[in-house]
Amino acid sequence: MATMLQWLGKSPSKKQKLSNVERREYEKTRHRSFQEGWYKSFTWLRHSSEENKMYCTLCEKFDRSENPSTFKLGTNNYKIDIVKKHEKSETHTRSLERSRAASVSPGESIGEKTVVALNKCATLKLCHLFRNAHYVAKLGKPYTDYVSLCRLDAAKKIDIGSTYLTDKYCQQIISNIADTRRVVQRDVVQKANFISVISDGATDCASMETEIVYCRTSVGCEVSTFFVGIKHVRRADAVTISQAITSLLDTRFPDWREKIIAMGTDGASVMVGKKGGVVKIVSEAVDRPFLKGIHCSAHRLELAYKDATKKIPIHQRCELLLLNLYLFYKYSPLNRANLRASFESLGKASRVPTRMGGTRWLPHTKRALKQMLEGMDGIVLHLEQMQQQPQKESSCKAKNFLKVLKSPETIYWLHLMTDVIRCLSKVSETIQEKHSTVADIASELECAKNIIEKYKSSVGPCLRSMSPDSLLEKQMTERKTKLLVSLLTALTDRFSGDANLFLPAATLLSIKMWPDFKEELGNFQENEDKL
């Protein structure tokens, strides 16, 4: 019966039951087509009459699997069961979720909120780890200290996670921080119209000669100073040093050769020599003959002070006294303990002598003089106690120290040195200030010269507090004048040459150096126009 109906082109009724064989025969000859009513139940369907295929619009847009479904590629199997099966498939469900997420406003989807929360938590953990690594690198600590810092954070109940807690990861984090800073610095140099290079030699812990290079520039009136790098040099000659500097700059800043205008170095002939110095070699290498070599102002100031005092015996004697007292207490814990006991018996704060040399900066000398003058009573008391014990070797040293310390000439000179060093140290501190300008240096240097000039006919605040008698003042006048005259001459000589090109011109930028009276403004303007 079913076969006869099939031949007649009629489908069997629902009440009639067909065998499996008959149903398969029926399906072979049955003609199926897309039903328009499916759009109501399956809104994601799309039918192409030209291709005679139906598609899933969601899978076409959001299916990213390697094996796309048949509804993404298109199918002509027009069975309702196939459509229902695809609707329940994992691929279609994933595409539907992606479609819903795409339709949600930014920041409102559950997935995005979850990812943001996870990233925020991970970022907070990494912030703690990056700070620990930066601390290790900043202070030059070993990488193993990073592990101890992380354990300390964990003991403080700080959530740092359980990963990236080894010294090897510390090295990677520091390397990433350095790479990021290099990118920022390279971008600044690319925007800059000019740069200057600062270089100085040093000796590392392995007693190997190295060259340290910095770069200084200005973009949008914002001055920046970058650490370029440090490199070992086989020999500290001009050719080797210049090669080290240029190789470091080539690695960091590809266009530095077209922007360099000056180099800041010390006053050694190997650096600023006119015929074969480093500045001369670099200027020829970059083909910029106008490249200017500038001797460090802090070195100039220090050398000027050394030049003025090296031929004054009493000054050398006072410096030797300060150095020997520093060593006397530094290498003897017993002497330091007894010195503190002496201050306690006097009811004063302890003042242990400090070193006045070392890094060659005048503020160190200022601190050493301050410690000596403020702790004079305690030091004298301790030395008097020590010289009463002749069986000890240190009693002879104490006796000699007392002989020099109790000399009125020594006390006078220490107070005079304090007045002189106090005004010169302000210049040194201004030079070493990161954001100081040439105008600031010129202003402070001029003020220091004026103060030293006034000391010729008057006494400074520290020397005035000593209240020297007229006889001592008369005896020390010649030495005092010799020091002040020599110091003014040395300052003038050391800040001559290339410094004369910058310091006078900088007076226009320093309000402190402008004239106080209106009638002087005209002469001031005429002098500046000549520069």
Q: What is the mean pLDDT of residues 52-62?
A: 88
The answer, yes or no, to whether residue 8 has pLDDT greater than 80, is no
Higher-confidence residue of 354 and 504: namely: 354
Quote the pLDDT of residue 27: 63
pLDDT, tens only, 314-340: 999 999 999 999 999 999 899 999 999
State the CB neighbour count (10 A cutoff) for residue 114: 10
Residue 216 φ then ψ, to 5°? -130, 135
Instruction: Tell me the pLDDT band of 154, cut-offs 50, 70 and 90.
Output: very high
pLDDT, tens only, 469-488: 888 888 888 999 999 999 99
- C-alpha to C-alpha distances, 307 to 453, 484, 488, nearest whole angstrom: 18, 12, 11
Quote the pLDDT of residue 394: 81
The answer, yes or no, to whether residue 409 has pLDDT greater than 80, is yes
What average pLDDT does the structure give for the chain? 83
The answer, yes or no, to whether residue 493 has pLDDT greater than 90, is no
DSSP string, 343-376: HHHHT--------S-SS--HHHHHHHHHHHHHTH
Quote the pLDDT of residue 110: 62
Q: What is the mean pLDDT of residues 15-22?
A: 62
Quote the pLDDT of residue 522: 45
The answer, yes or no, to whether residue 135 has pLDDT greater than 90, is yes
CA pair distance 372, 364, nearest whole angstrom: 12
Instruction: Tell me the pLDDT band of 360, cut-offs 50, 70 and 90.
Output: low
pTM metric for this prediction: 0.65
Min mean pLDDT across 449-453, 459-463, 518-522 is at 518-522
Q: What is the mean pLDDT of residues 362-372?
A: 90
Quote the pLDDT of residue 498: 60
Instruction: Tell me the pLDDT band of 440, cut-offs 50, 70 and 90.
Output: confident
The answer, yes or no, to whether residue 13 has pLDDT greater than 90, is no
Q: What is the mean pLDDT of residues 111-127?
A: 75
The answer, yes or no, to whether residue 287 has pLDDT greater than 70, is yes
Where does 289-405 have alpha helices with state H?
297-309, 313-330, 333-346, 362-374, 376-387, 394-405
Q: What is the mean pLDDT of residues 46-50?
A: 86
CA pair distance 510, 518, nearest whole angstrom: 17
The answer, yes or no, to whether residue 492 has pLDDT greater than 70, is yes
Instruction: Tell me the pLDDT band of 68, cut-offs 50, 70 and 90.
Output: confident
Q: What is the mean pLDDT of residues 180-200?
A: 92
- C-alpha to C-alpha distances, 195 to 50, 261, 298, 443, 518, nearest whole angstrom: 68, 6, 21, 24, 38
Q: What is the mean pLDDT of residues 210-218?
A: 91
Quote the pLDDT of residue 376: 92
Min mean pLDDT across 170-174, 196-200, 447-451, 522-526 is at 522-526
Instruction: Confirm if 449 and 516 have CB atoms less than 8 A apart.
Output: no
DSSP string, 19-71: -HHHHHHHHHH------TTHHHH-TTEEEETTTTEEEEHHHHHH---SS--HH
Q: What is the mean pLDDT of residues 426-454?
A: 84
